């Protein structure tokens, strides 16, 4: 009897998971068709996973001491406590979870001046941005250092629609964007098939 109950419970969980994935695929397709941002998803804190903290730690170690950091897609602001000594930290996100967060939708023009920062961090956010070249055009020339992660299509085989990702860049395409905005790669790592870049203004 217990085996039957366990079997049925597993079947029910699997069916719920399939429905959830199917719903996300439909949402992603609709968002991409209209070039919209998924505000509904990021309202829910359940989508801010602690599992990402290892990646955030790697990226925090790429930031130089005494940097003036703006983090885009700050979420729970884990990066703030992982930065080197002397850094100033400003969070930015689609959802303003507290008054210190600068509200910003990267699928639109950045609504604040970047002159007070020298370093920008993008941790797991650029997959939800349609035009990464447009973002970099706004960073250039004010931001001297960039640390970012991205699941490149030629490295990560994750299902992009199921993940709700809105852009589909290869590593080479990203490198072309960096180069056209005079950023050079000074450090590169991979974490769970995600590319992590440290860029420096030439």
Q: How far is CA 92 from the centre of its chain?
A: 12
Predicted pLDDT of residue 41:
85
Give, in degrees to the nearest 5, the angle at Cα 200 between 151 and 67: 100
Predicted pLDDT of residue 15:
53
Predicted pLDDT of residue 22:
81
Give yes or no for a contact between 153 and 168, defined as CB atoms under 8 angstroms apart.
yes
Secondary structure string (H, E, C) spanning 52-108:
HHHHHHHHHCCCCCCCEEEEECCCCCHHHHHCCCCCEEEEEECCCCCCCCEECCCCC
Predicted pLDDT of residue 140:
85
Look at residue 19 and tell me whether its pLDDT is greater than 90. no
Q: How confident is the model at residue 12 (pLDDT cuts 50, 70, 90)?
A: low
pTM of the model: 0.89
Q: How confident is the model at residue 64 (pLDDT cuts 50, 70, 90)?
A: very high
Mean pLDDT of the chain: 91
Cβ contacts of 148 within 8 Å, gap of 6 or more: 120, 121, 122, 123, 126, 196, 197, 199
Look at residue 8 and tell me whether its pLDDT is greater than 80. no
Q: What is the spatial distance between Cα 45 and Cα 77, in angstroms, rounded to a whole number? A: 12
Q: Which residue has the higher pLDDT, 19 or 137?
A: 137
The 10s digit of each residue's pLDDT in 110-120 is 999 999 999 99
Predicted pLDDT of residue 49:
52
Structure tokens at 99: 């008054």
Give yes or no for a contact between 51 and 45, defined as CB atoms under 8 angstroms apart.
no
Query: Where exactly are the structural domains of the chain?
Result: 35-201
The 10s digit of each residue's pLDDT in 119-173 is 999 999 999 999 999 999 999 889 999 999 999 999 999 999 999 999 999 999 9
Instruction: Please give the CATH topology (third level) of the domain spanning 35-201.
Output: Rossmann fold (3.40.50)
Helix, strand, coil share of the chain (percent; to 5)? 40, 20, 40
Q: How far is CA 32 from the centre of its chain?
A: 17
Q: How confident is the model at residue 10 (pLDDT cuts 50, 70, 90)?
A: low
Look at residue 38 and tell me whether its pLDDT is greater than 80. yes
């Amino acid at each position: 009897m217990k085996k039957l109950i366990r079997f049925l419970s597993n079947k029910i969980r699997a069916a719920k998971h399939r429905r959830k994935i199917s719903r996300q695929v439909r949402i992603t397709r609709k968002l991409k068709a209209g070039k919209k941002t998924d505000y509904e998803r990021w309202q829910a804190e359940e989508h801010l996973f602690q599992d990402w903290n290892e990646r955030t730690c790697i990226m925090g170690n790429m930031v130089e001491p005494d940097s003036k950091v703006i983090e885009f897609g700050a979420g729970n602001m884990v990066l703030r406590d992982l930065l080197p000594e002397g850094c100033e930290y400003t969070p930015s996100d689609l959802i303003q979870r507290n008054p210190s967060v600068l509200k910003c939708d990267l699928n639109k023009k950045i609504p604040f001046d970047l002159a007070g920062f020298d370093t920008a961090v993008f941790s797991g956010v650029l997959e939800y941005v349609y035009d990464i070249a447009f973002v970099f055009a706004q960073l250039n020339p004010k931001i001297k250092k960039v640390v970012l992660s991205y699941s490149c299509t030629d490295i990560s085989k994750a299902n992009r629609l199921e993940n709700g990702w809105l852009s589909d860049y290869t590593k080479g395409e990203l490198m072309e964007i960096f180069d056209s905005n005079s950023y050079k790669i000074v450090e590169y790592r991979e974490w769970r098939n995600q590319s992590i870049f440290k860029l420096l203004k030439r």
